[in-house]
Amino acid sequence: MAPRGALLVLALLCESPRRPAAAPGDGQRTWEHFSRLPFPGDKAFLYDTFPEGFMWSVGTAAYQVEGASDKDGKGPSIWDTFTRGGNRIAMGDYWITIDNPFVVAWHGYGTGMMAPGVKNEPDLPYAVGHNLLKVPETERRPSSLSVAAIYPPTHSDRMLQAHAAVWHLYDRRYRPLQGGKVSIALGSHWIKPSKTRRENLRACQCSLDFVLGWFARPLFVDGEYPSCMRGRLSARLPSFDAAEKAYINGTADFFALSHGPSLSFQLRNESLKFGQTEEVDLRMLLYWIKAEYDNPPVFVVESGWFVSGSSRTEDPKHMYYLKWFIVEMLKSIKYDKVRVIGYTAWSLVDGFEWHREYGIRRGLFYVDFATPDMKREPKTSAIFYGKLIEKNGFPPLLENKHADGVFPCDFAWGVAANSIEVETTPSQFADPNVYSWNVAGNGELKRLEGVVAPPAHRVRHCADYAAIRHQVEQIRRVRVSHFHFSLNWSSVAPTGNVSEANATLLDYYRCFASELLKANIAPVVTLWHYTGKRSSLPAPLEAKRGWWCNDTVRAFAEYARLCYRQLGAHVKLWITLNEPNAKELSYEVGHNLLRAHGLAWHVYDKEFREAQGGKVSLTLYMDWVEPAYSFTLRDMVSASRVLDFRVGWFAEPVFGSGDYPSGMRKWLRQRNSMDLFNYHLPVFSREDEQLVRGSYDFFALSHFTTSMVSEAVEDKYIYEAMLEVHYMFDITWVMSSYRRSPVVPWGLRKALSWVSSRYPGVPIYVMANGVDEDPARFQDSLRVYYLHSYINEALKAYLLDGVNLRGYFAYALSDQRDPNFGMYGHVHDEFIVKSSLMHYRNIIEHNGFPEPSAPPQPCPRRSEPCLGCEVLARHSVVGFLSLVGSALLITVGLIVYFAAKRQE
């Protein structure tokens, strides 16, 4: 909202009926209204088009583009005084100029005079209109105008009267001939309550009254200032008599709104926030205007964002802010029924940005200020805006529509957990104490002091572990066919020597796997799970520099052999390494991890595959990376480079050529040759290449979100110098509550297609896919939306893209083991089923998203496990007594029945 000091007379050819004013204060219901909207459905992107006849425009300002006085015959303006008056920084008055830039420019209004040079009413549009209708002060520095101690409130009185004079002039002399419309452009911030109390809502209402309502209420309601202003400023605020109110009220044919960076987040006078929080939200502001002023037609006359002054033609940040503002405006029209009639993108070209001077750029066209002819080039935002106007919005595309269809019958539906609860001592009959019952008549057990039962010499059974029973039952309720969990290497072999393995823990893992199978759930086991800074290696190996050491590689192969031998009868899907492609790991460590995986795969292939019939691979972390601007080759190359370094680093040696991606080697070679870095990829020996290449039975990936990359440097804190990319996200994306992780369902489809195209025909499993959400929300609507949308994109990859997708695992089972990601809540040792679990189960039961009219899929029905039968099979005496008891009950029942019949 840059003040231009330029006459803004917006002549709109469309006519709209005048509406009665709304009751003052109705806008206060805005915050409550939006707090009730469904999340994340209301935040999801809206694919739709604008009404026919919607007006698209772009704006700029004369002073910012044409220059100062003495240029092309122009005389001095108020902005020459502002921008050139003295050494503003060195003299210490820089901040004074920013906070109160218009005192000198408008001081004549405070004396009761009209603007300089105005002699009679017919001159108004030409003499005073230059600095009148746009009201640059209102847009640029509401804080300067709103506090009487800084700027006399009487100035607004004069400006409103001057505006009314111009409106009446046009209405009387020009409207019959030209048929246009006249308004005054008002700028505003948005504010949200710091708490949900009534007094906070009133404070928010007052904040908007002081900025937007100051001019809007006299024009659109009753010719009077808002009651909040009158109550707080009292006599310092001018008042209008009845004639003046009638003269001012109604002198706006539409509501002209300015919104963007110059007001948003820049209310320098904290008192205008009334203790609340300022933010950018065009949709809520439009709704507030609708409620407060009885839904007038609204023309957004200035909207946009800015990028760094060092940027050139690539401005993805500006582009995505434009996209956000426009889609929020579209939601206002379609959902909230706000009468928005037009939108203006600001600005057409780069220019002088007031107190920021040339430190930022806001134009759709890049201007090279260093060239004599001020060379201009369209930016990415200009191309985007032009395409958007051409399509009149965001028409629904085929790839954005929901897909109907089902997965194959043998599709693996699973749920994942980083770890499981371990209980090495069976809880059944493990308590040696002796108790007496109901001694006090209260039905309680009382332990007898000093009395201990002799040890029970009974055979332990897997079902004796309460932790196993409880976890298996939790998993069974999800209706999944597979469960993925990780072993703890440092617990299984604490010394790193498998000859000293923890037999008790291995027995527990074996019991857990066998109990899963009895519940018709196939276990999927990871041998080593990367846990970041917390090492999961045995302590002696960690002391030898961990994965930097070849001893760890050999020890891992022995550990894998031990696990295959002990658990292989129950486990048919193995993951050697889970997410080893973490970017914080060095290339030397990654090289040894690849060798360890290759050794572990070959151990299974040579020694266990024939007998056990299982499959082995590794899981790679694969969030999708999208070019910030898909029409720019440089951004596409940047995205491909990031994928090579993130995924191809491990995928290409195993699934492809047996060496690291050629792009990685070339990029690092170039950077090292310029002495920028000292990164060196290890070289595979012939033996290592044969060890690693082809060491897979399927491609497993974990995917959670999507990011964007651009070569344009905007924020040094999210710029990765080694890859020369700037990370960002589309501001229209739904964000998770805790990690602020973008929810981008189509990213999974693109990731699956990338793997399929790079390694054709490889079976693919999504081993982990989930989102964080507030653990207190058991109605976890974001996770419901996430699972539904991501699984549907996986279905598109399978049905439409021909991806050989074999399974999908939701992450995670419960908040106890994986905080904020669980489908079970965990509060005070109690597990609570969340909405997402029931939704995921429903998708599994339908094997996807079948068409409503489609016949049932002819799949073999899975048999439900008979848990009681398994107990009876283990305890033959119990089974025999149960059979006898059942026969006895049936016999007694028959005797009673026939005896009663005989009496009748």
pLDDT tens-digit profile of 473-529? 999 999 999 999 999 999 999 999 999 999 999 999 999 999 999 999 999 999 999
Is residue 753 within 8 Å of 801, Cβ to Cβ?
yes
> Which of these three, 393, 422, 444, is where a domain ends?
393
Top pLDDT among 353 and 734 is at 734
The torsion region of residue 205 among left (phi > 0), alpha (psi -120 to 50) and beta comes to alpha
* Residues in CB range of 289: below 8 A, 6 or more apart: 27, 212, 216, 255, 257, 296, 298, 338
> Angle at Cα 205 formed by Cα 202 and Cα 207, nearest 5°?
110
Question: Is 626 contained in some domain?
Answer: yes
**Both structure tokens of 81:** 């005084």
Q: Is residue 891 part of a domain?
A: no
* 486, 513: one domain: yes
For residue 884, being part of any structural domain is answered with: no
- For every residue of 372-388, DSSP letters joined together read TT--EEE-HHHHHHHHH
- Distance CA(753)–CA(809), nearest Å, equals 18
Mean pLDDT for the stretch of residues 848-867: 82
Number of compact structural domains in the chain: 2
Which residues have C-beta within 8 Å of that of residue 787, sequence separation ≥ 6? Answer: 770, 810, 836, 839, 840, 843
Query: Is the C-alpha dihedral spanning 363, 368, 374, 376 positive or negative?
Result: negative
Contact 166, 125 (CB under 8 A): yes
389 and 510 belong to one structural domain: no
pLDDT of residue 902: 67
- Residues 420-478: tens digit of each pLDDT: 999 877 665 556 677 787 677 776 777 778 777 666 555 668 878 999 999 999 999 99
Q: Is the pLDDT at 107 greater than 50, yes or no?
A: no
pLDDT at 630 over 70: yes
What burial letters (b/e) apply to 83-96, b meaning 16+ CB within 10 Å? beeeebeeeeeeee
Report if residue 403 sits inside a domain. Answer: no
Which residues share a beta bridge with 151?
A: none
- For residues 386 and 505, membership in a common domain is answered with no
Residue 510 within any structural domain of the chain: yes
Quote the CA–CA distance of 872 and 885 in Å, as a whole number.
14
CA angle 186, 192, 195 (to 5 degrees): 155
Are 589 and 547 spatial neighbours (Cβ–Cβ below 8 Å)? yes
H-only helix segments in 392-463: none
What's residue 151's pLDDT?
44
Q: What is the pTM of this model?
A: 0.85
Give the Cα separation of 669 and 684 in Å (integer).
Answer: 17
Helix (H/G/I), strand (E/B), else coil: 449: strand
Note whether 420 and 349 are same-domain residues: no
CATH of the domain at 53: 3.20.20.80
pLDDT of residue 154: 59
Q: Among 312, 308, 316, which Cα is nearest to 370's? A: 312
pLDDT value of position 89? 33
**pLDDT (tens digit, 9 = 90+) per residue, 250-262?**
999 999 999 876 5
Residue 502 lies in a domain: yes
Residues 366 and 420 in one domain: no
Cβ proximity of 313 and 328 under 8 Å: no
- Candidates 492, 511, 626, 639; CA nearest to 571 is 511
How much is the pLDDT for 91?
32
Contact between residue 555 and residue 546 where contact means Cβ atoms under 8 Å apart: no
Omega prior to 40 cis, within 30 of 0: yes
What are the phi and psi torsion angles at 707 (to 5°)?
A: -130, 170
- Tell me how far apart the alpha carbons of residues 200 and 322 are, in angstroms, rounded to a whole number: 30
Do 381 and 480 belong together in one domain? no
Together in a domain, 519 and 656: yes
Tokens 């004639």, located at residue: 243
Mean pLDDT of 267-280: 78
Supply the range of the domain harboring residue 679: 409-432+465-849
Rounded to 5 degrees, φ, ψ at 833 are -70, 130
Give the distance, in angstroms, between the CA of residue 451 and the centroid of all CA atoms in the same chain.
60
- Domain boundary at 849, 864, 899, which? 849
- Chain centroid to CA 564: 40
| Residue 855 counted as domain residue | no
Cα 68 to Cα 82: distance, rounded to the nearest angstrom: 11
Q: pLDDT tens digits for 76-96?
A: 655 555 555 544 333 333 222
Find the range with the poorest average confidence among 245-249, 489-493, 589-593, 708-712: 708-712
Residues 294 and 417 placed together within one structural domain of the fold: no
Secondary structure (DSSP) of 617-659: EEEEE--EEEESSTT-HHHHHHHHHHHIIIIIHHHHHHHSSSS
Query: What's the pLDDT at 134?
Result: 33
Give the rounded distance of the alpha carbon of 891 from its chain centre. 65
The pLDDT value given to residue 100: 25
Percent of the chain with pLDDT strictly greater than 90 = 64
Task: Give the whole-angstrom CA distance, residue 693 versus residue 809.
Answer: 26
Tokens of 589: 């460590």
Report the alpha-carbon distance of residue 323 to residue 394 in Å, rounded. Answer: 10
Average the pLDDT over each of 193-197, 579-583, 853-857 and give the range with the smallest value. 193-197
| Closest-CA residue to 700 (of 414, 333, 891, 447) | 414
Q: Is the pLDDT of residue 283 over 80?
A: yes
Question: 780-839, pLDDT tens digit by residue?
Answer: 999 999 999 999 999 999 999 999 999 999 999 999 999 999 999 999 889 999 999 999
Question: Residues 194-214: what's their mean pLDDT?
Answer: 93
Q: Are residues 360 and 419 in the same domain?
A: no
What is the pairing mode between strands 706-710 and 719-720? unpaired
How many whole angstroms separate alpha carbon 205 and alpha carbon 188?
A: 13
Angle at the Cα of 211 (from 208 to 215), degrees rounded to 5? 110
* pLDDT over 80 (residue 896): no
For 852-874, b/e burial (b = at least 16 CB within 10 A) is eeeeeeeeeeeeebeeeebebee
Mean pLDDT of 340-358: 90
Are 633 and 555 in a shared domain?
yes
For residues 152 and 366, the answer to whether their CB atoms sit within 8 Å is no
Mean pLDDT of 572-600: 97
Residue 886 lies in a domain: no
Residue 67: pLDDT band with limits 50, 70, 90: low
Q: 744-757, pLDDT tens digit by residue? A: 999 999 999 999 99
d(C-alpha 84, C-alpha 75), whole Å: 14
The residue that leads in pLDDT, 549 or 454, is 549
The answer to whether residue 63 scores a pLDDT higher than 90 is no
Question: What are the tokens at 659?
Answer: 């060496």
Q: Is the pLDDT of residue 23 over 50?
A: yes
Residues 340 and 426 in one domain: no
What is residue 279's predicted lDDT score, i.e. its pLDDT? 86
- 380 shares a domain with 515: no
Identify the three-state secondary structure at position 328. Answer: helix
pLDDT at residue 122 is higher than 60 = no
pLDDT above 70: percentage of residues in the chain: 81
Q: What is the pLDDT of residue 785?
A: 98
What pLDDT is attached to residue 343? 98
Q: What is the pLDDT of residue 428?
A: 53
Query: Please, which residues have CB within 8 angstroms of residue 298's CB and are 6 or more apart in sequence?
Result: 254, 255, 256, 257, 286, 289, 290, 338, 339, 340, 341
Return the number of other C-beta atoms located less than 10 Å from residue 23's C-beta.
10
